[in-house]
Amino acid sequence: MQRRVPFFDYPAVYHRYASGFESALADVGSRGAFIMQRDLQEFESRLAEYVGAKHAIGVANATDGLQMAMMADGLPPGAEVIICSHTMIATAASIHFAGGTPVPVDAGADHLIDPNAVREAVSDRTRAICPTQLNGRTCDMDALQEIADEHGLRIYEDAAQALGSKFRDRAAGTFGVAGCISFYPAKLLGCLGDGGAVVTNDTGLFERLLMLRDHGRGEDGDVHCWGFNSRLDSLQAAFLNVQFDDYAHVISHRRELAATYWELLGGCPELVLPPAPDSDSRHFDVFQNFEIEAEHRDELQVCLADQGVGTLVQWSGKPVHGFSELGFCQALPRTDKLFKRLLMLPLNMSVSVEDAQYVSDCILGFYKGR
Ligand SMILES: *Cc1c(COP(=O)(O)O)cnc(C)c1O
């Protein structure tokens, strides 16, 4: 029997917690508590505690957060920051607007930044590494820290996709100077619009970020530096508080779906799956995405669509170094090859185990029929 398994169901973001959201709207609205009110402070302290960081600061979106973190840390003009080419253009844009130069390098077999490629890309202008904790998985932070220590580099984390992900029991976002997290609706913890946060253990950086997000204003109301308007709305923070109560369940459901895909597709020779939930004791993966490598990717995608299954090629199929109009000219044939094979299967709170079984059956049927 044909099912319909959309890649992502935006209305479901609302419907899942509708009554909680409506109470939050009534509460925040009737208090007139729209900007920088207690809902925001409550969310920030919950977030900091959850990731085990000293500070969390709500901002308008993760891209702004990453940019402001680098600015608050004094990234020198023109400094090179090494990133993975398999990331959202936002990672590169935040470096660009912080005054630096993003330098994309290859992704490794796990689709995350390849530490060997990072090592090769270090130049005398390199100032930092900005790994993306992609698809809900944290990079090998030991290897990256070793390179950073060797060359005196800073680490900023793009943990937009990785709230709750861990490497050796430490949460994504807390390894380097600072990390950004996104609450875009399709993210693991998604609000009803744009939202983001920065987490950091550096109190000085935190205090500069507080001013940067609010026109450079300090607690005394005076302006101490040039700043942005990049605050997280108290209403969005209230919506996030509603969902945070259920977040452990969100992660366990996602890991269950990943395990289901593994059980059914793990033996399929035409596919390479992301590492299974408990295959490496150093990693706790929260599966923001289930990104596979597939032979005959484009035909598979069409075949799945015909059977009601939505899939997505991340970043519309283009790695960062592919954006030549932005001036990138790196040659990364390994990543180019990888990008011809990548496909994301539906994995989110609207997808049931039965849906994942159906998707898997459709995929096995596609390869069998060839
Ligand atoms: C979503 C995302 C961002 C941007 O987050 P916003 O909150 O939309 O600014 C940055 N990097 C990665 C890897 C993302 O997935």
CB of 63 shorter than 6 A to ligand 1: yes
What's the pTM value of the predicted model, to 2 decimals?
0.98
pLDDT value of residue 1: 74
CB of 88 shorter than 6 A to ligand 1: yes
* CA 314 to ligand 1 center in whole angstroms: 12
Number of the ligand 1 atom closest to the C-alpha atom of 183: 7
Give, for ligand 1, the residue of 59, 61, 63 to mutate: max count of ligand atoms closer than 8 Å to Cβ.
63
pLDDT digits (tens, 9 = 90+) for 139-197: 999 999 999 999 999 999 999 999 999 999 999 999 999 999 999 999 999 999 999 99
Number of the ligand 1 atom closest to the C-alpha atom of 134: 13
Number of Cα atoms under 13 Å in the Cβ half of residue 340:
6
Residue nearest to atom 2 of ligand 1 (CA): 160
Residue nearest to atom 3 of ligand 1 (CA): 160
Instruction: Determine contact, residues 173/159, Cβ cutoff 8 Å.
Output: yes
* CA 315 to ligand 1 center in whole angstroms: 11
* CA 220 to ligand 1 center in whole angstroms: 32
pLDDT value of residue 256: 98
Rounded CA gap, 334 and 320, in Å? 13
Rounded CA gap, 156 and 71, in Å? 11
* CA 63 to ligand 1 center in whole angstroms: 6
* CA 299 to ligand 1 center in whole angstroms: 28
Number of the ligand 1 atom closest to the C-alpha atom of 94: 10
pLDDT value of residue 106: 98
Number of the ligand 1 atom closest to the C-alpha atom of 133: 13
Instruction: Determine contact, residues 332/319, Cβ cutoff 8 Å.
Output: yes
Rounded CA gap, 94 and 96, in Å? 5
Closest CA to 74 of 242, 225, 181, 196: 225
CB of 158 shorter than 6 A to ligand 1: yes
Longest CA–CA separation in the chain, Å = 69
CB of 61 shorter than 6 A to ligand 1: yes
Residue nearest to atom 5 of ligand 1 (CA): 62
Closest CA to 231 of 33, 36, 32: 36
Per-residue 3-state assignment (H helix, E strand, C coil) for the chain: CCCCECCCCHHHHHHHCHHHHHHHHHHHHHHCCCCCCHHHHHHHHHHHHHHCCCEEEEECCHHHHHHHHHHHCCCCCCCEEEEECCCCHHHHHHHHHCCCEEEEECECCCCCECHHHHHHHCCCCEEEECCECHHHCCCCHHHHHHHHHHHCCEEEEECCCCCCCEECCEECCCCCCEEEEECCCCCCCCCCCCCEEEEECCHHHHHHHHHHCECCECCCCCECCCCCECECCHHHHHHHHHHHCCHHHHHHHHHHHHHHHHHHHCCCCCEECCCCCCCCCCEECCCCCEEEEECCHHHHHHHHHHCCECCECHHHHCCHHHCHHHCCCCCCHHHHHHHCCEEEECCCCCCCHHHHHHHHHHHHHHHHCC
By residue count, the chain amounts to 370
Number of the ligand 1 atom closest to the C-alpha atom of 161: 15
pLDDT value of residue 342: 98
* CA 330 to ligand 1 center in whole angstroms: 23
Instruction: Determine contact, residues 211/230, Cβ cutoff 8 Å.
Output: no
CB of 184 shorter than 6 A to ligand 1: yes
Residues of the chain with pLDDT under 50: none
**Averaged pLDDT score across all residues of the chain:** 98
pLDDT value of residue 370: 87
Rounded to the nearest 10 degrees, how much is the dihedral formed by the CA atoms of 201, 207, 208, 211? 140
Residue nearest to atom 6 of ligand 1 (CA): 62
